[in-house]
Structure 1
Amino acid sequence: MIIARLRYWSDANVLLRAAEALIWINEARPGMPGDGDDVQALIQVNAQPQTMVKMDPSGHSEEAIMRIVVTTDGSKASEAASRYVARLASDLAKLPQVLLVYVDEPLLQRVAVELGVKGVDRYHQENGKAVMKGAKSRLKRAGINYEEHLLIGDPAEALLKFVKKSNCDVLVMGSHGRSALKSLFLGSVTIKVLSRSEVPVVVVR
């Protein structure tokens, strides 16, 4: 299942054929159904393969290189997210620019003190290397150039801050992280990001 939070109805035109459902959360925006913060509209779609385009303010489209932020944490859902991006590349007129992101949570203060600055840095670098290995391999096989970004902090907050500064077109993430209960429809981090992201979000299960 692919779930996307969109800013405008026209954003549906830039989703990959694998998209099965669109979810609007929070405020209604121009061109979208709904009339307030309580709107949560679920619309089933069958998207066909198409060239990825951007719409300029005048409504004209132009081919552009898409900037995609894809998150990973080693979970099955996040691995599915990187596979989704690898498939997406084959349907685009131009290969996307991908920013691969992993957010490592901070160590407890007492542990950080014991390890020291260099030890803490080494700990996070090793975690990042291990977690991003699978996604990196997948993107390389698809011929996609990517940037690695290791962030430290609260997963949702750090990711939202990064996305805001990245000037990306879309965020792709897994529905559940490693610690999320599988019985939940979406993990807590995903829900926070969906409700606050200022860019379209594609959630992959």
Structure 2
Amino acid sequence: MYKRILLPTDGSVASQRAIQSGVDFARSIGAEVVAMTATPEFHALTANAEMLEQTRDEYLAASRASGQRLLDQAAAVARDAGVPCTVVQVVSDEPYEAIIATARDKLCDLIVMASHGRRGIKGLLLGSETQKVLVHSAIPVLVHR
């Protein structure tokens, strides 16, 4: 069935639940997991307060550290379940593209990711990385709600 499962995380509670479910599923079928997170690129002109308050190097270091904490959490869930796990941190302004590219590069045959459940105008305006992955990925996607 599935041999390698991609588990993207943004650190949200929904994402943490999806990681737990993805790891449990991987354990049940004897698969390994790849945990990944995407952090935005640095932009000098932005509305993001973190980028405005930091130099490029400070922002990149803080982003790397924050992303590593998320990946360490996911790796700990996998380790506790006895599931082999590799981690990938990507810098990208388009998380859905990073998720699909990572799945392809790491030869994943399933993506398990959270849906935040935004509906109506809020969902339309904010967009959904999960929705974009569903639309653009040739790799199967299991959405955890």
Query: TM-score range with shorter-chain normalisation?
Result: 0.7 to 0.9
Quote the residue 1:200 is aligned against.
140
Which consecutive unaligned segments of at least 5 residues does structure 1 have?
1-52, 55-65, 177-181
Say whether the 8 Å CA contact 1:81–1:204 is kept in structure 2. Answer: yes
Alignment of 1:45-194 (within 5 A): 53=1, 66-92=3-29, 94=30, 96-109=31-44, 111=51, 115-117=55-57, 119-153=58-92, 154-176=94-116, 182-184=117-119, 188-194=128-134
Please report the TM-score for the alignment, with normalisation by the length of structure 2: 0.79
Relative to its length, the structure with more helix (as a share) is 2
**What CA RMSD, in Å, does the superposition of the two structures yield over aligned residues?**
2.4
Amino acid at match of 2:32: Q
Identity %: 26
The count of residues paired between Structure 1 and Structure 2 equals 134
Which has more radius of gyration? Answer: 1
Q: Flag the structure with more relative contact order, 1 or 2, with Cα contacts below 8 A and sequence separation at least 6.
A: 2
Distance 2:82 2:144 in 1: 21
Structure 1 runs, 4 residues or longer, greater than 6 Å off: none
- Which whole-Å CA distance do the structure 1 matches of 2:17 and 2:5 have between them? 15
Q: Is the 8 A contact 2:112 2:144 kept in 1?
A: yes
SS at match of 1:91: helix
Unaligned runs of 5+ in 2: 46-50
> What SS is found at the alignment partner of 1:109?
coil
Structure 1 residues 120 and 198, CA gap change in structure 2 (3 angstroms): same
The worse-fitting range, judged by mean Cα deviation, of 190-199 and 130-139 is 130-139
Q: Is contact 1:89-1:142 (8 Å) kept?
A: no
Q: Deviations over 1:81-127 (max 9, x none)?
A: 111122113422x3x22110001112332548x6244x343122111
